[in-house]
Amino acid sequence: MDIDLISPDQWTKGIPHGQFEWLRNEAPVFWHESDDPAVPGFWALTRHADVQAASRDVDRYSSERGGVFLNVQSDEERDMFRSIIETDRPGHTRLRRLVNRGFTPRALIEFEASYRRAVRTVLADVIARGTFDWVTEVATMLPAFAISELLGVPVEDRPQVTAWTNTISGANDPEFAAEPDAPLQAAIALYSYATELADQRRSDPRDDIVTSLITEVDDDALGAHEFEVFVLALAVAGNETTRTAMSQGMLALLDQPEQMQLLRTSDGLAATAADEMIRWSTPPPATSTCTASPSVRTIRSRSTTCPRTTTRRSSPTRTASTSPVPPTRTCRSGAEVHTTASVRTWHGSRSPSCSRSC
């Protein structure tokens, strides 16, 4: 079977389940060639157990060294917008602790009440009109409201914040990124907006999440740059992933009306429907990380250079034994030399044997 998990054309037709099924059964650790200079070749992991095991092995795999995006980024680009998802311990642990501090039970209860009102308002509006676009008028509106509400973004600024996040996440979509530098310019604009938001809270503290994140407790808080990239990550990832899950979930129900009817008539299914839609759609379908451990070396190299690594977590035992051997890079870390292989995990391909995204 011809395997191509990179080309956007493969995904416009829907999730390529046939390719994922073949990979899980025949080549669960697969060396994926690439003709795209922006996306180097990589190992693709497609079995849930392998992805889960590698994702939990923080001693052998790094989100910080190579980043988590599939396209090539320079060290400068990664450092400029490095968020919590692109850090390793102990920095990652510290950021999680600080971010969690803002999401107290009381803050979430207040947010839930506000969000429920927003959902009822949006749905009542589109139902009254009878015909509407689910993606733009529901799946886009609700995540944008949620993130803006969490950050205390004024109502009049929310359309602009949503437009910036669309441009950043739609870097390869001419509808959102008409110019090559449009995503970078949108990221800079959103970063600057976050700076203004933080400055406002420092001069006029409120009983909200933003104030909690930037106020020192035990001599620690999110610094200026840390807060700005947190806003970037929350706005972009929260908007894109939630919108995609809601859109793919609705499409699946429309494509399979018997499932729609089952959801409407069966008690208890609504409680797990959102989890199932996330499992089914699994946004984003792939993430990337860097492997760097002598125990998973595939070949030895005397090279001392370490170009950009676009990788994602692999199962150590499978990586060591899989053929053919891919190109590797050797990076020096102190006195220890690590061989780095490109590895990527793919999600979103369903399998009867998986209880979560595969």
Backbone angles phi, psi at 300, to 5 degrees: -105, 145
CB 205 within 8 A of CB 211: yes
Q: Which long-range contacts (CB under 8 A, 24 or more apart) does 80-83 make?
A: 81/187, 81/191, 81/229, 81/232, 82/229, 83/229, 83/230, 83/232, 83/233
Instruction: Say which CATH topology domain 103-255 has.
Output: Cytochrome p450 (1.10.630)
> How far is it, in rounded angstroms, from Cα 310 to Cα 140?
30
The 3-state DSSP class for residue 289 equals strand
pLDDT digit string (tens) for 173-231? 666 667 778 888 999 999 999 999 999 999 999 888 899 999 988 889 999 899 999 99
Beta strand 29-32 with 61-62 is: unpaired
> According to the model, what pLDDT value does residue 55 have?
85
> How far is it, in rounded angstroms, from Cα 182 to Cα 125?
33
CB 328 within 8 A of CB 42: no
Partners of 32 in the β-ladder:
42
Collect all residues with Cβ–Cβ distance below 8 Å to 65 and sequence separation of at least 6: 88, 290, 292, 309, 331
Sign of the torsion formed by the C-alpha atoms of 88, 90, 93 and 94: negative
> How far is it, in rounded angstroms, from Cα 187 to Cα 122?
28
- Give the residues of the chain that fall short of pLDDT 70: 171-177, 292-358
> According to the model, what pLDDT value does residue 346 have?
54
> According to the model, what pLDDT value does residue 67 have?
77
> According to the model, what pLDDT value does residue 330 have?
27
CA-CA distances (angstroms) from residue 255 to 13, 247, 249, 260, 261? 14, 12, 10, 9, 12
CB 51 within 8 A of CB 32: no
Enumerate the domain spans of the chain: 8-89+286-346, 103-255
